[in-house]
Amino acid sequence: MTRTPKTPASGKGGIQRRQFMMGAGVAAGAAALGMPRLARAADRVEISFASAKFQGTETIGNVVDTFNESQSKIFVKYIELPPPSSSTEVHQALVQQLARKNGSPDVFTQDVIWIAEFAAAGWALPLDEYFGGVKSQFFDGTIDACTYDGKLTALPWGIDSGMMFYRKDLLDEIGAKVPTTWAEMTEQAMKLQADKKVKFGFLWQGKQAEVLVCDAVSVLASNNAAILAADGRSSTLATDKAVEAIQFLHDTINKYKISPADVLSWDEEPSRAPFTGGEAAFLRNWSYVYVLAQDEKSSKVPGKVGVAPLPHFDGGKSAGCLGGYQYGINANTKQREAAVEFLTWMASPETQLRFALKMGIAPTRPAVFDDATLGKEQPFMQSLKTVFTGATPRPKTPKYPQVSLAAQSGISRALVTGKVKEELEAAAKKIDAIVSKA
């Protein structure tokens, strides 16, 4: 059941609301007062929507207001959670609410890595019945991340992924093309370093933290390897392909010397600073770096930075680690119809475009990237379509937090000690013990 979503008509909301109030026969006095709260007439279904706080020139609250004003059946109450940077707190807040199983919040947004956990706990309503038909309109990677145990339990909202930033000017100088394989990138990075054009060839993030898992997933998947087997019941971190991929990360520091050993303690920002300072040729990072790189005041490389999908191994394909927030419906909601209608509107191309333009949240529908307004106002976001097409989710398991901690420890050990195979075997054993209990 895909309903045609009502286009958010900004500016006309007030008129629509007044029309509704007269039509619904609400007390004339209330209409004269014109108080928005009074629009919550008794015959409107009320649902709650909890989301991490995103902000731009508009807030999520503004978008929810538009929905409330655009129709007369549903009233959505918006509950603001901490921003995504306080991921642990957002997760806790959602888990505590959902575990009560009282149907509140009816609709919520979640980080991609929690989808399996919420689905396995029975907190997320399977959405195939309502959104199965429109699945093909979203990026494959996001639909994959939103699917657990064969069921669609989340709906894509915003996407980000790991990507490669490179110095256009330097590649031109040595007459090189944008690298598509790790070998090409290594060769170019070594040359630029040898020519003293840059201090560092390639920067990435090796701090023992979630970002290490993201970097690892990117190299693993680009060599057809993964942390977990497809069924999520065992670890494949010690396979030859996986060892080869992690060995490459180790080699960037110790063999090719295109990365400083400091990357082992760097997360996003410490690795970003040398790049925008003009000292590095290649950088793996998220989309936020672009804006900082173009900033005339703080960046030494405005206009010289290009973005491309991350390289891959021979026989593999590029695989940026998928990030972003997705929608979910509480399995215990008492207002299923209303929740579905609200989500249909929120996930519509029109609303996605508004999120992109006003809050910088990249759409999960490839079609929205082709919009002319987006091209005019956010040309960089538009150029990321190819990058997002190859985005790969992190391991899907309800025990993700534990698996992630074990993977962080094991991969960090492998990178620091250089005993890649041994350490990955030990980590795989630990991860096996965690997921086999599930």
Partner 1 sequence: MTARSLPAAALAGPPRGAGWSMPRLAPFLFLLPIAVALGSVSLYPILNGLWLSFTNTSLVTQEHDFIGLENYAQLLGDDLFWNAWRHTVYFTVVSTLAETALGLVMALLLVERFAGRSIVRAAMLVPWAMPTVVTSKMFGWLFDGQYGVVNWALRESGLIAENINWYGSIDHAMTTIIIADVWKTAPFMALLLMAGLQTIPKSLIEAARMDGAGPVATFVHVRLPLLMSTLLIAGMFRALDAFRVFDLVYVLTGGGPADATETLSTLSYKTLFSALQFGYGSAMATAMFITEALIALGFGFFIMRKMRAPR
Cα angle 104, 109, 113; round to 5: 120
Question: From CA 17, how far away is CA 39, in angstroms rounded?
Answer: 8
Q: Smallest distance from the beta carbon of 216 to partner 1, in angstroms?
A: 13
- Choices 9-17, 52-60, 261-269, 281-289 (CB under 8 A): range interacting with partner 1: 261-269
Q: How many CB atoms lie within 10 A of CB 405?
A: 17
- Of 66-125, binders to partner 1 (CB under 8 A) are 88, 91-92, 95-96, 99, 117, 121
Stretch that binds partner 1, among 240-248, 289-297, 373-381, 405-413 (CB under 8 A): 405-413
- Six token digits for residue 344: 């249909």
In this structure, what DSSP letter does residue 107 have? E
396 binds partner 1, rule: CB under 8 A: no
24 binds partner 1 (CB under 8 A): no
Binding of partner 1 at residue 402 (CB under 8 A)? yes
Non-local (6+) Cβ contacts of 162 within 8 A are 214, 215, 218, 284, 285, 286, 310, 320, 321, 323
Helices (H) and strands (E) in the chain, counts: 21, 13
Nearer to partner 1, 102 or 265 (CB): 265
Nearest to 51 by CA among 111, 120, 138: 111
**Which region, judged by CB under 8 A, interacts with partner 1, from 49-57, 102-110, 214-222, 259-267?**
259-267
**Sole binder of partner 1 in the list 416, 422, 425, 429 (CB under 8 A):** 416
Can you tell me the distance from the alpha carbon of 300 to that of 127, in angstroms, rounded to the nearest whole number? 47
Query: Judged by CB under 8 A, does residue 264 bind partner 1?
Result: yes
Alpha-helical segments (H) within 280-364: 288-294, 336-346, 349-359
User: What DSSP character marks residue 349?
Assistant: H
Nearest Cα residue to 321 out of 245, 261, 415 = 245
**Gap between the Cα atoms of 238 and 248, Å rounded:** 14
Q: Is 208 an interacting residue with respect to partner 1 (CB under 8 A)?
A: yes
Among 19, 254, 265, 298, binds partner 1 (CB under 8 A): 265
Pick from 1, 22, 27, 261 the residue near partner 1 by CB under 8 A.
Answer: 261
207 sits near partner 1 (criterion: CB under 8 A): yes
User: Which of 170, 413, 424, 435 is close enough to bind partner 1 by CB under 8 A?
Assistant: 413
Choose, by CB under 8 A, the member of 350, 386, 405, 425 that binds partner 1.
405
| Six token digits for residue 260 | 């400083």
Stretch that binds partner 1, among 45-53, 269-277, 322-330, 348-356 (CB under 8 A): 269-277
Q: Is there a contact between 106 and 339 (Cβ–Cβ < 8 Å)?
A: yes
- The residue assigned the tokens 């195939």 is 128
The reply to whether omega before 309 is within 30° of 0 (cis) is no
Q: Give yes or no for residue 206 binding partner 1 (CB under 8 A).
A: yes
User: By C-beta, is 92 or 436 nearer to partner 1?
Assistant: 92
The neighbour count for residue 434, using CB atoms within 10 Å, is: 17
Stretch in the footprint of partner 1 (CB under 8 A) among 32-40, 139-147, 201-209, 236-244: 201-209
In whole angstroms, how close is the CB of 402 to partner 1 at the nearest point?
Answer: 5
Options 398, 431, 432, 435; binder of partner 1; rule CB under 8 A: 398
Per CB under 8 A, 33 contacts partner 1: no
Size of the site for partner 1 (CB under 8 A): 36
Token couple for 308: 């491309």
Contact positions toward partner 1, by CB under 8 A?
A: 88, 91-92, 95-96, 99, 117, 121, 206-209, 260-267, 270, 273-274, 398-399, 401-402, 404-405, 408-409, 412-413, 415-417
